[in-house]
Copies of this chain bind each other. A is one copy, B any other.
Amino acid sequence: MVKLIDIAKKLGLSLTTVSRALNDYEEVSSKTKELVRQTAKEMGYVPNKFAQNLALKKSHLISLLYDDYQETISYQSFTFEVIAGVRNYFGRTPYDLIIVPGNLKSETREPLKNICYSRGIEGLFVVGIRTNDPYIEELKKDFIPAVIVDYPLITKKVTYIQSDNLMGCKLAVDYLVSRGHSRIAFINGHDLAAVSPLRLDGYKTALKENGISFDEDIVKVGNYTEKSGYDAVRQLLKEKADFSAVFAASDLMAVGAIKAIKEKGLKVPEDVAVVGFDDVFFAEYSHPSLTTIRQHKFDLGYMGAKELHEIIENPEKPLRSRKIDVELIIRESA
């Protein structure tokens, strides 16, 4: 491995000058700069980041915190695409992405603080972890810049980003209303996902805006899996609840809902219309294909990463949370 001193010796220059030449300091004449750069290239010189980090006290390291024990593929895909956005953003900067090590489920995992401090992590990007994850508590201590997807937390160094859930619910409800529905059942997800209360709120608000009164009897709670959506709607049907449409807080639950409806001999969307949330890719492949609210996952990652970058570079900046627009995708199910 060739190092600075090697190219200094070769050129009869001092270490300092070589370092400065490569870092484009003004104190070095352009002739020497060019010479140094050229020979550095020829000799295959690559700077040692550890040494740089040590000297500069700057790691250029962002840590990615996510949970890989995700029961549903839609969650996997969500996380994957968000991370793609993060990666894409930081790929344009000198920052590297390091994955927070270890089994997130393990009880014996290292404190986040230690992980970050020992590696000189400058920022944390958090996506797809549970609201009851102990790391969330650590984040609240505000010891490191962080951006979280879908968990409402704002401190001096930490902020969050999420899809505009309110808007999403409004789009869904408005659309169903525009198709003549006024009895719209809602299948929400459990509270371990921070978006659940938001979506319930959005649903309520949208109803109100359309002059429809909220009816607790046609609201159920699932856990974002297909089966829970299926169970919820079966329950509704069993109770002979009065509804002509179902709005599910996830596509997977929407698929389950459709299954339950079909099983009763009813047709989607003729008898009951169904709208999902997320636009996971298979929404397109279900039968009937799913009308749903699309989340722009890549953008969540990209914009979240950008925000994180800004927090790091400009620590004084007061933080605000950020919302990414969602989109109504009309297919066959409603």
Contact = CB atoms under 8 A, between A and B. Distances in A.
Contact of A282 (B69, B79, B282): B282
A7 to B, nearest CB: 15
Nearest to A113: B46
A84 interface: yes
B59 A50 contact: yes
Interface string A54-83: 100001000010001100110011011101
B117 A99 contact: no
Nearest to A90: B101
A87 B98 CA distance: 11
Contact residue range for chain A? 35 or more
A119 B49 contact: yes
A99 B101 contact: no
A120 interface: yes
A98 B97 contact: yes
Given A97-B98, A255-B285, A46 B114 contact: yes
A179 interface: no
A152 interface: no
A9 interface: no
A281 interface: yes
A92 B108 CA distance: 11
A97 B101 CA distance: 7
A226 interface: yes
Nearest to A88: B103
Interface in A104-124: 106, 113-114, 117-120
A281 B73 contact: yes
B282 A285 contact: yes
Interface in A253-288: 255, 280-282, 285-287
Interface string A270-314: 000000000011100111000000000000000000000000000
A92 B79 CA distance: 23
Closest 9 CB pairs of A and B: A91-B102, A68-B84, A73-B281, A97-B99, A46-B117, A282-B282, A50-B53, A46-B118, A76-B80
